[in-house]
Structure 1
Amino acid sequence: MVNIKKKIPNATMKRLPLYYRYFKQAEEAATDRVSSKEISEALDIDSATIRRDFSYFGELGRKGYGYNVKSLLNFFMEHIQGNDKKNIVLVGVGNLGSALLNYKFNNLSDKMNVVAGLDNNDDLVGTKINDVTIHHSDDLESIIENGNVEVAILTLPVSASQEMAERLVDAGIKGILNFTPTRLDLDKKIYVHNIDLGVELQALFFYMKNL
């Protein structure tokens, strides 16, 4: 039984997929149990941080024993990722959008299904990328409704991002993975996860300089 003691910090939430992937790989390697030290060495995350992250969900391990791989993997699958598969649309099939559609989401294939790509480029409409059909942006509302889509990946130019995001929300989208530099102004009930590649690169250069 999960016992969430307090609001989970964003930093912890961002590390949860790393933990899930680690336990998934441990299970595939037929490992029965692991310690926080072993997780720390594999993920380069401080052991104290790992124990604190897990403490938000109650007692997931035992002192002197560590963490049972199968139990933790089941926990993450049930309570962190959920058991249902999410349907996704990708909006903006330019260079970045095409690259994302070509990406092999093997470790998430049981949790996500990209039902369509959307773009207003007539040369792309009707084509397929990695078995995903590209539709015209005019079909957005019908695809979201008919496909029971809850999540959108946004890879549009800045000038079109806010308007398209509002259309997505009006059509029923509940979460947006935003690859544009635009900070979208939407209802607080809509979760937007921003990935600004320019900022991430600048952060990388800063860390490299200050090693």
Structure 2
Amino acid sequence: MYEVPKIPQATAKRLPLYYRFLQNFSNAGKIRVSSRELSEAMKIDSATIRRDFSQFGAFGKKGYGYDVQELLQFFRSILDRDEATNVALIGVGSLGSAFLKYNFHRNHNTKIVLAFDTGSPHAGEKRSGIFSFHPDVLEEKLIEHSIELVILTVPAKAAQPLADRLAGTDIKGILNFTPVRLDVPDRIRIHTIDLSVELQTLIYFIHQQET
């Protein structure tokens, strides 16, 4: 087992990307890869890649590059790729339904195992092969399925009340797709993805390129 030092948040966000592209190189039969090749594939500056990798120890060799399998083993270890994490989805609207149809376990180490929606019965119903329950049974089902992570795709007004309920459970993280900045205990990690903000940011950078 590798010991991973504390790393900057920006570096941590790139870890799954490194794993994905290294897996692509491995599938293509590559034995070793240079920071330049990773840079061209990932569209990330090669200096950034070298700086990130240097924080994990001496993986690269000058004139040789990086051993693909060694890096894959390292990233698999720190990302727990060999064991799926159970995820619950709350809110099966348009975005939530898309998540259910895709489901992450096909390509990642996360798997949506159940969902919650006000339109679902207390006894549950199948949606895209996943059982969806009414939120009234939220707490008991989270315990029953050993849920660690929750994806929140509900209307804004429902976000904080649900977060308050989740704070009373043993979940460790919330992927929040609402525009609300949730208030939860420090033990729960929140990543908020506001699609409208992301779109506006993209438009800003496009306009910047045009000037």
Fold similarity call, TM over 0.5? yes
Q: Deviations over 1:141-161 (max 9, x none)?
A: 111111111000000111110
Residue 176 (structure 1) aligned with residue 190 (structure 2): no
Which sections of structure 2, spanning at least 5 residues, go unmatched?
Answer: none
1:59 aligns with 2:58: yes
Look up the SS of the partner of 1:139 in the other structure.
Answer: helix
Contact 1:180 1:195 in 2 (8 A): yes
Runs of 4+ in structure 1 over 2 Å off? 1-5, 80-84, 122-130
Aligned counterparts of 2:41 and 2:122: Cα–Cα separation in 1: 42
> Deviation at 1:54?
1.2
Tell me how far apart the structure 1 counterparts of residues 120 and 14 of structure 2 sit (CA, whole Å): 40
Shift of 1:83: 3.5
Measured in 2, the distance between the counterparts of 1:129 and 1:102 equals: 9
Are 1:119 and 1:125, in contact at CA under 8 Å, matched by a contact in 2? no
User: RMSD in angstroms over aligned alpha carbons?
Assistant: 1.8
Whether the 8 Å CA contact 1:3–1:56 is kept in 2: the answer is no
Q: Is the 8 A contact 2:2 2:77 kept in 1?
A: no
User: Across the two proteins, how many residue pairs are aligned to each other?
Assistant: 208
Structure 1, unaligned stretches of length 5 or more?
none
TM-aligned CA distance change 1:139 to 1:55, over 3 Å: same
Conserved? CA contact 2:164–2:184, under 8 Å: yes
Q: What is the rounded CA distance, in whole Å, between the counterparts of 2:96 and 2:122 in structure 1?
A: 12
- Does structure 2 retain, via aligned residues, the 8 Å contact 1:178–1:194? yes
Report the Cα distance in structure 2 between the residues aligned to 1:125 and 1:205, rounded to whole angstroms.
44
Q: Which residue of 1 aligns with 2:153?
A: 155
Report the TM-score, using the length of structure 1 for normalisation: 0.92
What's the CA shift for 1:107?
1.1
Q: Is the contact made by 1:102 and 1:130 (CA closer than 8 Å) also made in structure 2? A: yes
Question: What does residue 143 of structure 1 align with?
Answer: 141
Query: Can you list the C-alpha shifts for 1:116-151, whole angstroms capped at 9, x where unaligned?
Result: 110111479743232111111111111111111100
Identity of aligned residues (%): 48
Aligned equivalents of 1:102, 1:3: Cα separation in 2: 36
Secondary structure of the structure 2 residue equivalent to 1:171 = coil
Q: What is the CA–CA distance in structure 2 between the aligned matches of 1:4 and 1:121, rounded to whole Å?
A: 43
After TM superposition, the structure 1 stretch with the greater mean CA deviation from structure 2, 52-61 or 155-164, is 52-61
Amino acid at match of 2:56: F
The structural deviation recorded for 1:61 is 1.6
Cα offsets for 1:6-50 (capped at 9, x unmatched): x31111111111101001111111110100000000011000000
**Shift of residue 4 of structure 1?**
4.3
